[in-house]
Structure 1
């Protein structure tokens, strides 16, 4: 997932549109699975396996140990952990970044919260409506075919900007397994036309 601006009929200030700098430490600090966005206050939290808040930011700004205790109590317990840990369903109170495709959205969420503070606006779950609208506009099932949004048209024009071809050794390994009668199976949540483009570029 690329960090793309919200849909055109919504406000698209600079923090939405600024490209992520791959050399920035801040970019990589938001580039791992398991981050949770607390939609009520704009905090992004990293949890231990028991729901303890290991670290947190408000927007893109780190929260100190004292701030974390102020928000989550002396035991640093995240209040929605039981819901997340037992159901894994979507919630209006938080969003769990559990896969690599939509992971850049965590950085975008942080930037939006920063922007709201800079403007003096209250941070609440309303900002998530714009996030969902932007995601739907850019990544809906028909977007690839329709050349809609910003990500898929850019990917189709220049796939080499986003994709790295597999090495010859990987291709040889895959062919050898197929020749040996092994069943090769690709499981993906992506639509077939997008998957075909990726496979043609990285595998040939």
Structure 2
């Protein structure tokens, strides 16, 4: 194919949509050697239209990443299947729940009930999906979809005081009294809970419908049993499965993305903040990025306990005897994988790895190594509370959010697909981004958060790893209501 033919393709796409910034197309360049064929998809970047809000990665002093489901990509189907089986086994064997529905085959039809971002109403045994105003748009009792009449009867005006408080400040329901009423299932580690919770409700309703469903404490105990950091060294079932067969659950990071991170580190300070423990990070990152993975970052913070990492208690500052520090957790020094003594911000070192800590002291470290009083920070993550809402709302940190659903639901003018789209997408609940109404489509609650608390929404980190650091990327803008921050393109459901 000649360059003239390629140019004609670009012009055709540009006519189809004058807001298109990046084109993925099916033409592939084949590099043949004696050993293998290497296929490389072309990424063609058009500058955004004038007068549009944009960001450039080179405009930031420090660029940070979450690990799980951001830089580190999982085989989501295999991951969720494993989590579902382990949690069901715990609840049936240890908590003596009926296996009648829980042990049913985990088929595509059964999987369809799950979706990231669903909200549990513990006491009523209901699963909720909210719209952009915080109203309850759709709900099920167990696995049974509630009619509009049932929904109105249960939640007058389609509202609930607890979800209203959640809408006003999602962090308010993370801990404390409200956390005993509601839980948002925000990532692929807890996504199976919606189905398990619903099946237990179905079983209890058949046996003797309770006035209050007291299921969540047992589910929470099961999640703790599966994922607690002690289980990695103890070879708990979840971690043992990943250790024995990492290729089944983890994707290798592409060499292009690794090279991009290295190039970024040469020009800006970069960092990793993850909730995972040091031993688990060393295993997963070592597999995905190589044994020298720590050389990719200027500092690594593990077991960060987000979202609290970003939030001083009460969002206040109190005197501690060593300047004014947030009431959050101290950084802890690591010896091997063991947490040792606390460490002050002035003792943090480039190339170091630390546990727990807080954002205030981390930014003090950034000030020291950049020489800037208020270094401008960008963070990339997937969890819409831990990585997006809290760091943006409480710390004014700019965010690029990684949302697999953007690829799983397909994008405008793109033929790319997600290998796990069957388990990610849900016909039962509809699009992750939009809600279908008789008069058209409107934003889901989570798309509202994406547009208001992130700069750009991408399906994978690798899509921005293909562009220069000084390339402008069109972004969301709350003041102008600009909604063109989906890169490389909008999900199809938002283009209807």
TM range (shorter): 0.7 to 0.9
Higher mean Cα deviation, 110-119 or 64-73? Answer: 110-119
The Cα offsets for residues 118-169 of structure 1, whole Å up to 9 and x where unpaired, read as: 3334263321121111111111121111112x31221111122211212222
Of Structure 1 and Structure 2, which has the larger fraction of its residues in strand?
Answer: 2
- Structure 2 distance, partners of 1:38, 1:20, is 24
- Structure 2 distance, partners of 1:128, 1:19, is 23
**Aligned equivalent of 2:267:** 181
- Structure 2 distance, partners of 1:123, 1:109, is 16
Contact 2:113 2:143 (C-alpha < 8 Å) held by counterparts: no
Q: 1:151 to 1:191 in 2, by over 3 A?
A: same
**Aligned equivalent of 2:185:** 97
Contact 1:113 1:123 (C-alpha < 8 Å) held by counterparts: no
- Structure 2 distance, partners of 1:76, 1:6, is 35
How far did residue 72 of structure 1 move?
1.0
Q: 1:66 is matched with which residue: 140, 146, 149?
A: 149
> Aligned residue pairs: how many?
198
Q: 1:200 is matched with which residue: 280, 283, 286?
A: 286
Q: 2:258 is matched with which residue: 162, 167, 171?
A: 171
- Structure 1 distance, partners of 2:102, 2:283, is 27
Q: 1:32 to 1:9 in 2, by over 3 A?
A: closer
**Aligned equivalent of 1:32:** 116
Mapping of 1:13-162 within 5 angstroms?
13-14=98-99, 15-17=101-103, 20-21=106-107, 23-24=108-109, 26-33=110-117, 35-73=118-156, 75-84=157-166, 85-86=168-169, 87-90=172-175, 91-122=179-210, 124-148=212-236, 150-162=237-249
Of Structure 1 and Structure 2, which has the larger fraction of its residues in helix?
Answer: 1
- Structure 2 distance, partners of 1:192, 1:109, is 31
TM-score, normalising length: structure 1: 0.84
- Structure 2 distance, partners of 1:81, 1:173, is 41
Which consecutive segments of 4 or more residues in structure 1 shift more than 6 A? none
- Structure 1 distance, partners of 2:202, 2:272, is 39
SS of 1:46 mapped into structure 2? strand
SS of 1:186 mapped into structure 2? strand
Q: 1:72 to 1:19 in 2, by over 3 A?
A: same
Contact 2:127 2:142 (C-alpha < 8 Å) held by counterparts: yes
Q: 1:28 to 1:182 in 2, by over 3 A?
A: farther
**Aligned equivalent of 2:354:** none
- Structure 2 distance, partners of 1:166, 1:182, is 21
- Structure 2 distance, partners of 1:125, 1:119, is 13
Contact 1:38 1:95 (C-alpha < 8 Å) held by counterparts: yes
Q: 1:12 to 1:192 in 2, by over 3 A?
A: farther
Give unmatched runs, 5+ long, in structure 1: none
Contact 2:97 2:200 (C-alpha < 8 Å) held by counterparts: no
- Structure 2 distance, partners of 1:110, 1:123, is 16
